[in-house]
Structure 1
């Protein structure tokens, strides 16, 4: 079955996902397309956001549950800071509340007795007023102490240091038992959305745009592609910086340098799948379908690899083929 002509320019609009090589079709029609001249540059794996997890309470770290490199989720408790003075204040308030509860209970008893005796004229009206006032004072004092205890308990609860975002712990500058004050950093967390930070020579700034594809140079037989998402509008030391996203960046270390290939311009050319090329005695051949229907082996000059999301094993052909030629897939050995 013949396939329609493949335009290499489609690779620039394809989504930046790792393409999966498929079995070659029975025939392939050669067509002229745009080839991206590629340039190798180094990129650094960076976190889009590095967020510190800070303590809201001064005291001593009594529990620490993360180490460098640990994965955390947003809201996870990574440390607990305690202040012994606050614990003593809490115990004092508990004792005070217990005393006020007893005082309120006695005031209620006195008020009930006064209300019963006032009807028979056994006590003066002022005695009832005093009992009522004592009951109101005891109620207000108890509410005040309970509110103070709740405020102190909330302040103690602030000793729990929570992870602000989901990601990986880059650095933990403290240990269990360390004394900290409010605002100290307990851990530095890199958010999970890693990016590739590229540094490209200044003369490439005019041909590098958001949405351009980049290819990660790795040991995988299947090429991995990413896409430029941001070009910084500032040039430093003759370089322009850009961010790119790609699948699988979470498997790298933050700060790791990897080689990527970026587009440095476009030119017309012929690209075919490498699976259509056979090497015999140091020469490269393709099976060309002739008008008579009989395949003919013709030599070709192979150029540089030109992988793309639509053609992971693409290779440029410098000579030997013309647009419109129909290639036949070589027979499986």
Structure 2
């Protein structure tokens, strides 16, 4: 006695077909909602690309990173030196020494003048002149010290630092090169990685944030989530970002094949094991009125349903037909 089972498979998010029946002797065919997938290529991108730029002009005397290195925020990536700044420091130090010596002498003169003024030997105007000389020298020394701090700060800014933690993607300079302030020394990719894809605008209305995306990774397939769809269409293409857990950031810019859900349609699906081949044709055993006959069919795509291969039948089969799936 054959057992008959109704095929009723409903589409759920993140899967091609859900609710596929277990194999039985026969099954009644009903239309199944199938997701239409569009294969395209996406590129691995970093969420942020932060350039590390020179803050002063000069010669690169140390280059601490190369492409592929991992850096922390604030880590030095290069050192730029400007010899003119060192000469300025030396000149300021010499002036400070000279003014320091003058200040010592002026303070001694002021001390002597105060002693003489107490005895009425010099006038108050002369004492005030001595005090003014000390004040002027102290002001000049303070000004030179401030100027020295500015130059010292410029020398410190010769250290080129990584703005964020991440991977060094590009180092367009070399040690010994002369560089101007504002030029890029290194490009750091930060914030993790994602997939950036571009798809034809004809599919724009079928894309929704949160859709499950299939990504070919090595010999297997992993799933991602459509995280962002950009509203600007350029050259007839819509750009979107896909978040993928554990996506490798070893090669930024690497192209990865993905499949996007761009629509659904109804199809008649049968287990692949129900098909037989003979003379280059495909056959299905169909049961009707207690009799079994062979129908020539045209198979389409094969899809896995709960790990079981099902074949889409393009012609030769109608909804309601009872298909024999196994033979005694």
* Whole-angstrom distance in 2 between the partners of 1:74 and 1:251: 18
1:131-181 per-position Cα deviation (integer Å, ceiling 9, x unaligned): 111110111011011000001111111111111222222221111110111
Structure 1 residue 220 displacement after superposition = 5.1
Give matches, 1:270-289, under 5 Å: none
CA 1:86 to 1:270, structure 2 compared with 1: closer, same or farther past 3 Å?
Answer: farther
1:34-59 per-position Cα deviation (integer Å, ceiling 9, x unaligned): 64322221111123332322111111
Q: Which of 152-161 and 201-210 deviates more? A: 201-210
Give matches, 1:1-333, under 5 Å: 8-11=11-14, 35-219=34-218, 221=220, 223-267=221-265, 304-306=302-304, 313=307
Q: Kindly indicate whether the alpha-carbon contact (under 8 Å) linking 2:61 and 2:176 is maintained by their aligned counterparts in 1.
A: yes
CA 1:304 to 1:279, structure 2 compared with 1: closer, same or farther past 3 Å?
Answer: closer
* Whole-angstrom distance in 1 between the partners of 2:140 and 2:232: 63
* Whole-angstrom distance in 2 between the partners of 1:202 and 1:216: 21
CA 1:124 to 1:220, structure 2 compared with 1: closer, same or farther past 3 Å?
Answer: same
- Structure with higher Rg: it is 2
1:189-215 per-position Cα deviation (integer Å, ceiling 9, x unaligned): 222432212122232111111111111
Secondary structure in structure 1 of the residue aligned to 2:205? coil
TM-score (norm 1): 0.71
Structure 1 residue 71 displacement after superposition = 1.7
CA 1:258 to 1:252, structure 2 compared with 1: closer, same or farther past 3 Å?
Answer: farther
Q: Kindly indicate whether the alpha-carbon contact (under 8 Å) linking 2:116 and 2:122 is maintained by their aligned counterparts in 1.
A: yes
* Whole-angstrom distance in 1 between the partners of 2:74 and 2:90: 29
* Whole-angstrom distance in 2 between the partners of 1:314 and 1:91: 81
CA 1:71 to 1:220, structure 2 compared with 1: closer, same or farther past 3 Å?
Answer: same
Secondary structure in structure 1 of the residue aligned to 2:97? helix
Name the Cα RMSD after superposition.
3.6
Larger strand percent: 2
CA 1:229 to 1:113, structure 2 compared with 1: closer, same or farther past 3 Å?
Answer: same
Secondary structure in structure 2 of the residue aligned to 1:253? coil
Q: Kindly indicate whether the alpha-carbon contact (under 8 Å) linking 1:35 and 1:306 is maintained by their aligned counterparts in 2.
A: no
Secondary structure in structure 2 of the residue aligned to 1:63? strand
Secondary structure in structure 1 of the residue aligned to 2:175? coil
* Whole-angstrom distance in 1 between the partners of 2:198 and 2:38: 12
TM-score (norm 2): 0.72
* Whole-angstrom distance in 1 between the partners of 2:96 and 2:267: 86
Aligned length: 275
Secondary structure in structure 2 of the residue aligned to 1:251? coil
Secondary structure in structure 2 of the residue aligned to 1:250? coil
CA 1:138 to 1:131, structure 2 compared with 1: closer, same or farther past 3 Å?
Answer: same
CA 1:10 to 1:171, structure 2 compared with 1: closer, same or farther past 3 Å?
Answer: closer
What are structure 2's unaligned runs of at least 5 residues?
A: 1-7, 16-21, 23-30, 278-298, 314-328
1:264-299 per-position Cα deviation (integer Å, ceiling 9, x unaligned): 22357899xxxxx9989x99xxxxxxxxxxxxxxxx
